[in-house]
Structure 1
């Protein structure tokens, strides 16, 4: 009888674990002020990252993912957004963005990478450094250590998307464009949300028949034999963890100033001209976010770190 109770408890726990992503999605759907690529942006970034992996790195990722992910990294790419308001993970909330001095249009790690209390490294650039380091230095070990590696993989994949979203490295005063109210065509929005989701959804509707696979296919063609094929090596090139995260953040604040904030005023209606000129920037940053973690995971797998 005791054995039966134990087996039943195991079945209940498995059911609870499988429900966690659903419960988390409900939390994030009702949470105010979310700041992140849309789920579509993160899914695209993670699909690109996974499709570029060689066999060894692909096996590592498959082994680190929980069984219910069915080997699909993109199915859990929004997990860090889903759990950021849970008590256990509230500390991760500042890791999704960087607030830079208003109108400075520069990023300085020592100046900008901290939370509201001044704790150092508590920004998305610090998160990229931290979770990359975890994947580099953890070896095969206990089940607890392997679980932490799973978290490191999911956090890195997600934050690599966030750091490539230009408005995630925005100005402090307007919270990365969150307080700049605009109209996106006919409905109310804000500048941050325009870059998080509005541009992506409009592109999906106008050019891809709302089919994410078609969108992904277009990005992949640009990477393999299109306009970005000669640029991939430069996207992957940086000297160390600090220079890598600084590079991504600097690119984002530069794009935020040139394309995000430029010409936008409070209450303005953003429509065709803004969409058509900014969509290529969004598409490229989604692709860059997929190429960068792919390079990290691939190198770590080859060196036997993971």
Structure 2
């Protein structure tokens, strides 16, 4: 009985980090894979110096895996930015500029600035690049720009084909996994933006990227209040939003990396 209890505790410990992943394993790798296809030659060379033969996609989930190490506990709040309900674009912009808390917005800016330093040690370059790849994916998962009071939708209960879940977990992983594609298949299917789209998506800036996700989250909250039973209709209504957020995440990550390593 004692051994069984130890085993159950170990399983629970392993499960918790996975349960709170943004985009889940699959989503983060899709974002990383798309970004890798839009790097300049110079950015690609600089990233190879840091990651070696490993791709952006292969490193995209490090920040979730490291949750199993208590010494990295401080990174937990870097995955998201909580915003009050009902804000305009101007109010979100003001909130982001004045909020000094450790969150996805402030830490993307921080690690991007650190990566621009030519004298940054290689171990720190590797860590900060892994963080940037991951958190850029995070902010395109709408519920990572959700409300503090329900932990970004974690406390909003829903049912996915009658299976109990919550709004955050559903958008993290269940929605993507339902499409039954590998991350390389998914990336290839999505990665067909026009030059005009790439330019428009990259130039709008971090504040606007977060506001876009925030707007989507507000819509998702409103819909979940009316209907908590998700199935084929929900997939039909929201698959374009899911796919566009994954694609935008990859394109914008590539744009930021190209700028950092220019």
Shorter-chain TM range is: 0.7 to 0.9
Counterpart residue number, 1:150:
126
**Structure 1 runs not aligned, ≥5 long:** 1-24, 205-209, 239-243
Indicate the RMSD between aligned Cα atoms, in angstroms. 2.5
Q: Among residues 65, 79, 92, which one is paired with 1:108 in the alignment?
A: 92
Any residues of structure 2 matched to 1:65-214 within 5 Å, and which?
A: 65=51, 67=52, 70-104=53-87, 108=92, 111=95, 120-136=100-116, 138-140=117-119, 145-204=121-180, 210-214=181-185
Structure possessing the higher radius of gyration over alpha carbons = 1
Alignment of 1:1-306 (within 5 A): 29-31=15-17, 34-65=20-51, 67=52, 70-104=53-87, 108=92, 111=95, 120-136=100-116, 138-140=117-119, 145-204=121-180, 210-220=181-191, 222-223=192-193, 229-238=195-204, 244-258=205-219, 260-265=220-225, 268-302=228-262
Structure of higher RCO (CA pairs closer than 8 Å, 6+ residues apart): 2
Distance in 1 (CA, whole Å) between partners of 2:31 and 2:18 is 24
Displacement of 1:288 in angstroms is 0.9
Q: Aligned-pair distance for 1:290?
A: 0.9
Gaps of 5+ in 2: 1-10
Mark the CA change 1:29 to 1:273 in structure 2 (over 3 Å): closer, same or farther: same
Distance in 2 (CA, whole Å) between partners of 1:27 and 1:247 is: 36
**In the aligned structure 1, how far is the partner of 2:183 from the partner of 2:253?**
21
Q: Which has the higher helix share?
A: 2
TM, length-normalised to structure 2: 0.86
- Residue 36 of structure 1 and its aligned partner are, at CA, apart by 1.1
Greater Cα shift, 267-276 or 105-114 = 105-114
Deviation at residue 108 of structure 1 after TM alignment:
2.9
Runs of 4+ in 1 over 6 A off after TM superposition: none
How far apart, in 1, do the equivalents of 2:22 and 2:67 lie?
11
TM-score by length of 1: 0.75
Aligned length: 251
